[in-house]
Structure 1
Amino acid sequence: MNLLSQESLDMFYFFRGEIPVFENLFHLSITTITECCWRGLVFLLNNSPNIETLTIKGTLHYDTYSSVCECLSGCSFLLSCPVKVVKITEYGGTADELLQLKNILGKLPCLELLEVRILGTNRRKFQEAKDLLMLPRASSKCQIKVD
């Protein structure tokens, strides 16, 4: 499934009581922008028991006033999420994004691979990659690949 707009993600929030179980959803790709809330993602992932890959095309979402948005606060919904691969296409390396990744890595028990494309200069990419590799992970199998 490929969700190309924020409105698609919002739909899963507004109709959360009517979301069917997506038994055959193995790969979910969402297009994001920092300012837009991911609250619909929580409900979609909870109704996707066989999802293996989550691709985030864009930046990680965070609340510019409190770092972690209420929609992802604690990320407890990830504790039962079967995702094995997370791909992020535009990682800027801000403190808020790093905190968000820390929450994600620390909660996904089945995660085997985090692929991150870091934006910026080579020197900055090196530092960001170093920071990412230091993050604690819920899964001992999790590898981090940076580009």
Structure 2
Amino acid sequence: MTSDQSRNASYGYLVGNATDFLMGICNVQILHLFANTLEVLTFCCELIPVFKYLIHLTIETHQNSGWESLPKLLKNSPNLETLVFEGLHHRYTIKCGDVDGCLCKYSGEIPTCLSSSPVKVLKVLRFGETGVENEIELVKLFLETMPRLEQLTLYYDTSSNDDLIKVSSQLNKLRRVASPNCEIQVISSKLS
């Protein structure tokens, strides 16, 4: 999607339907979606099919792309075991904070796409690029609401030992809200 198309999509001008395309790939086991694809799914997909064989989903994120289509996609992936975010960037929209409207904010109600999620492994690559505090809050939401989560791995590239210690300490405090058998780890080039 070009930058003009993306800008127009955010105003609802994008036309077409990507449902047929999704129906053609709904039997995959591994899927990698780019940030622009999430935008297309938001504005050009009347129905997101069930991805019954999908076990590994990677989502590339971008600060100019919203996550409105992500709850529907997760809800329609009943056997998803591994979810990878390439960063936690996204554009805030009017759907942010709505239960099942986005995943970025906790509105008090647990998004059903998370509470019923079969995901066991959650990885966040490029953790901290958009601000550690906001990303910690999102990680906390994942830990609180994903009951089957067994492993959370954050890939945090920082040049500061103090930042690494601070994030590790914050994550340690989150262990009490996570599933009892969830292992939380931070991987950093500083730990080499």
How far does the alpha carbon of each residue in 1:25-60 deviate from its partner, in whole angstroms, 9 at most, with x for none?
000001112443211111110100000000011235
1:51-70 map, 5 Å = 51-61=80-90, 63=92, 69-70=96-97
Is 1:91 paired with 2:138? Answer: no
| Larger Rg belongs to | 2
Please list every run of 5 or more consecutive structure 1 residues that lacks an aligned counterpart in the other structure.
none
Quick one: which of 161, 165, 184 aligns to 1:122?
Answer: 161
The 8 Å contact of residues 41 and 69 in structure 2, kept in 1 or not, is answered as yes
Aligned length: 143
Corresponding residue number in structure 2 for 1:102:
140
Name which structure has the greater RCO, CA cutoff 8 Å, separation 6+. Answer: 1
Matched residue SS, 1:38: coil
* Mapped partners of 1:126, 1:59: distance in 2: 20
Is 1:137 paired with 2:166? Answer: no
Identity across aligned pairs (percent)?
36
Quick one: which of 151, 173, 181 aligns to 1:113?
Answer: 151
How far does the alpha carbon of each residue in 1:36-93 deviate from its partner, in whole angstroms, 9 at most, with x for none?
3211111110100000000011235474x9xx93322435130001100000011115
Please list every run of 5 or more consecutive structure 2 residues that lacks an aligned counterpart in the other structure.
1-30, 188-192
- In structure 2, give the amino acid aligned to 1:29: T
Q: How far is 1:108 from its partner?
A: 0.1
* Mapped partners of 1:116, 1:32: distance in 2: 15
| TM-score relative to the length of structure 2 | 0.67
Q: Once superposed, what is the RMSD of the aligned Cα atoms?
A: 2.2
| TM-score relative to the length of structure 1 | 0.86
- In structure 2, give the amino acid aligned to 1:109: P
